Chains A and B, each alone.
Chain A
Amino acid sequence: MLRQKGVKPRAPLRAFGTPDHYIPTTSRDLMDMQDAEARQMAIALQNDTAAAGIPFFGLNDPRQGIIHVVAPEQGMSRPGMLIVCGDSHTSTHGALGALAFGIGASEVAHVLATQTLWQRKPRSMRVTLTGKLGPGVVAKDIILALIAKISAAGASGYAVEYAGPAIDALTVEGRMTLCNMTIEAGGRAGMIAPDEATFAYIEGRPYAPKGADWDKAVAAWRRLKTDTDAVFDREIALDVSTLSPMVTWGNSPEAAAPITGRVPLLEEAANAEKRGVMERAFAYMGLTPGMPLTDIAIDRVFIGSCTNARIEDLQSAAAVVRGRKVAEGVEAWVVPGSGLVKAEAEKLGLDQVFKEAGFQWREAGCSMCLATNGDKLLPGQRAASTTNRNFVGRQGPGSRTHLMSPAMAAAAAVTGHLTDVRDLMGER
């Protein structure tokens, strides 16, 4: 678009690129890409960033990975920044105290050309999370429970701040999972005020400020807190100690329920429209109303994506998998979020845990979260997936997706059906 207009990027060093959506997870060579159009997209990204002087981690760079995993990992995403990317899950970076949101391709061109974007100020929402998470309950369960509570459009038009004791206690990676899926509630952005955990996460990363600059940066970042007397347009409160591990049963992330529950009944729909949505979801997903969620048998398991493919995610899944085997007839994959996550997991021996259990251990990328690279479910196949969307056809035409946390996906892998991971904890 910029070339067509004869406009150059205004500040190429403030931009960054890495291929993630279209690339294979079996090879690190662009020439191995079977799909000529997808290969052309990946080559164009490489050539255009080089021509414009935009920093770029190519497929064969060990630091390559999913953009929303790579940028925080490199210290590129920092408090007080305004971060945009042509991907809806850009809200992830809000976990580091940045204002971050997804934009369209034309807007990406606009930002590259001008370093600006015309915006209307969004409304503000605060989600206050209190209580302590129970064993086996993690950030993914919080966000699924929240979306189920406020709906897939519940945060439309809002920038959301997550606050409260449960946020203070959450790791930075967990915070990323929360902010990542804010878009699934329709939120413009998800944000968390930077604190000591944020600074500790960023310090020493390759793109983080160093020496005296670091001290100045942290002093400025400490001021990036919401005023105590601030008034939000909407306030939501959630006691996370009441939560159980969550799974989705339908074709919107709002169709989520505790694993201890069952698929809803049509009579439970709030209105005729919701009833229609439910009916279509039951037909597409092949589910019987009222059946226990733990009776849902799965064909595939996908542990990956910008939502849940960081090292903590792989560790929590590996803890469940260790010493167990993938259930017969189930095909299970792990796709680390970046080359560095993969390397760290291998250093910790997690790859061996997964491989010994019968998982495939693959290269970094978006893979089967959105299936644009050819990694996909077959029509009618059902997956336990740590991703962010369970839309019709999302993981391939006819695919049936159940969203859940990495540990829950691991539990499903070893039992062959949706399972309350708490039943596998401590019993071995």
Chain B
Amino acid sequence: MEKFDQLTGPAAPLDMANIDTDQIIPKQFLKTIDREGLGKGLFYDFRFDMEGKEKPDFVLNLPAYKGARMIVAGDNFGCGSSREHAPWALMDFGIRCVISTSFADIFYNNCFSNGLLPVVLKADEVHELMGEAKGGNHVFAVDLQAQTVVSPSGKTFGFDIDPGRKEKMLKGLDAIGETLEHASAIDRFEDKRRMTRTWATA
């Protein structure tokens, strides 16, 4: 997984609630388990019309937001399908951080498998950042170590994050390798379970 420590870059405002993973990456782009190139399908139906032409008014198509590295979004971002292509597509497009009031659980977990930082802030804070992202200067700075987002106007917002997840993300650790260091504990658990649940021995 790609590590994440600090990020400074333009943030695009996506002022909509319940942006689902079908919107983030539509089904026609799912027929692969390669992560490369998925960025072209990111928010496809927002970015392109039926003929495949760019919709000029969608935020990520505006010249000011080309090269966006972050998104400020409405509630319940990433709801719907468990497709990990959603964080893959965001990452491939260049997005490394999404700020919202809430994320759907599976999407939230998928972010941490991939080095995409989901930042949860309170509704009034997200509202304020949304406003700044819509403004002329929309370069934000995120610091995972310090757990802060600094807005273009210089205001600092602190966020909470699980310490274990923070550590893994800062170091870009491989989760499987990490877990297999606990193999003997897993063995002990499974041995015990074999004794107590004799009807389920597969």
- A contact residues vs B (CB 8 Å cutoff): 1, 5, 7, 10-11, 13-14, 22, 35, 37-38, 40-41, 78, 80-81, 86-88, 101-107, 109-110, 113-116, 118, 120, 122, 152-153, 156-157, 186, 188, 209, 213-214, 216-217, 220, 252, 254, 273-274, 276-277, 370-372, 379, 389, 391-394, 397-398
Q: Does A107 contact B190, Cβ atoms closer than 8 Å?
A: no
Report if B146 contacts A (CB, 8 A).
no
Least Cβ distance of A270 to chain B in Å?
11
Interface centre among A81, A116, A188 (most CB of B within 10 A): A116
Cβ contacts under 8 Å, A35 to chain B: 31
Least Cβ distance of A99 to chain B in Å?
14
A-contact 0/1 string along B102-119, CB 8 Å cutoff: 111110011001100000
Least Cβ distance of A398 to chain B in Å?
7
Q: With the chains together, A152 CA to B109 CA distance in Å?
A: 18
Interface size on B, residues (CB 8 A): 51
A-B contact pairs, 29 of them (CB 8 A): A5-B176, A7-B180, A13-B202, A22-B31, A87-B82, A101-B106, A104-B109, A105-B84, A110-B176, A113-B180, A115-B190, A118-B175, A153-B18, A153-B104, A156-B102, A186-B79, A213-B199, A216-B199, A217-B200, A273-B15, A276-B16, A277-B18, A389-B20, A389-B22, A391-B20, A391-B80, A392-B22, A392-B23, A393-B22
Number of A-B contacts (CB under 8 A): 148
Cβ contacts under 8 Å, A379 to chain B: 50
Least Cβ distance of B156 to chain A in Å?
26
Interface set, chain B 144-202, CB cutoff 8 A to A? 162, 164, 174-177, 179-180, 182-183, 186, 190, 197-200, 202
Q: A38-B31, A41-B33, A277-B17 are in contact. List 14 more A-B contacts (CB 8 A).
A: A5-B177, A37-B31, A102-B106, A105-B84, A107-B109, A107-B110, A110-B175, A277-B16, A277-B18, A370-B27, A389-B22, A392-B45, A393-B26, A397-B45
Cβ contacts under 8 Å, B31 to chain A: 22, 35, 37-38, 40-41, 372
> Quick one: closest B residue to A16, CB to CB?
B202
Cβ contacts under 8 Å, B10 to chain A: none
8 Å CB contact of A114 from B20, B102, B106, B180? B180
A-contact 0/1 string along B17-42, CB 8 Å cutoff: 11010110011001111000000000
Cβ contacts under 8 Å, A391 to chain B: 20, 22-23, 80
Q: Does B76 contact A152, Cβ atoms closer than 8 Å?
A: yes
Q: Please give me the 3 A-B residue pairs with the lowest Cβ-Cβ distance, nearest first.
A: A106-B113, A213-B199, A153-B76
Given contacts A106-B175, A213-B198, A393-B45, contact A153 B26 (CB under 8 A): no
Report if B74 contacts A (CB, 8 A).
yes
Least Cβ distance of B76 to chain A in Å?
4
Report if B8 contacts A (CB, 8 A).
no
Q: Does A104 contact B82, Cβ atoms closer than 8 Å?
A: yes
Q: With the chains together, A102 CA to B81 CA distance in Å?
A: 9
Cβ contacts under 8 Å, A370 to chain B: 22, 27, 81
Report if B132 contacts A (CB, 8 A).
no
Q: Does A109 contact B50, Cβ atoms closer than 8 Å?
A: no
Cβ contacts under 8 Å, A152 to chain B: 18, 76, 79
Q: Does A104 contact B106, Cβ atoms closer than 8 Å?
A: yes
Q: With the chains together, A115 CA to B200 CA distance in Å?
A: 15
Q: With the chains together, A110 CA to B186 CA distance in Å?
A: 13
Q: With the chains together, A277 CA to B202 CA distance in Å?
A: 48
Interface set, chain B 29-81, CB cutoff 8 A to A? 30-33, 45, 50, 74-76, 79-81
Least Cβ distance of B153 to chain A in Å?
23
Q: Does A214 contact B179, Cβ atoms closer than 8 Å?
A: no
Q: With the chains together, A392 CA to B20 CA distance in Å?
A: 9
Q: With the chains together, A116 CA to B175 CA distance in Å?
A: 11
8 Å CB contact of A273 from B17, B81, B199? B17
Q: Does B45 contact A109, Cβ atoms closer than 8 Å?
A: no
Cβ contacts under 8 Å, A213 to chain B: 198-199
Cβ contacts under 8 Å, A41 to chain B: 31-33
Least Cβ distance of A53 to chain B in Å?
11
Given contacts A371-B27, A372-B30, contact A103 B176 (CB under 8 A): no
8 Å CB contact of B164 from A80, A118, A252? A118
Cβ contacts under 8 Å, B114 to chain A: 106
> Quick one: closest B residue to A215, CB to CB?
B199
Least Cβ distance of B171 to chain A in Å?
15
Q: With the chains together, A120 CA to B163 CA distance in Å?
A: 12
Q: With the chains together, A214 CA to B81 CA distance in Å?
A: 35
Least Cβ distance of B49 to chain A in Å?
10
Q: Does A88 contact B50, Cβ atoms closer than 8 Å?
A: no
Q: Does A188 contact B22, Cβ atoms closer than 8 Å?
A: no
Cβ contacts under 8 Å, B183 to chain A: 114
Cβ contacts under 8 Å, B30 to chain A: 372
Least Cβ distance of B15 to chain A in Å?
8
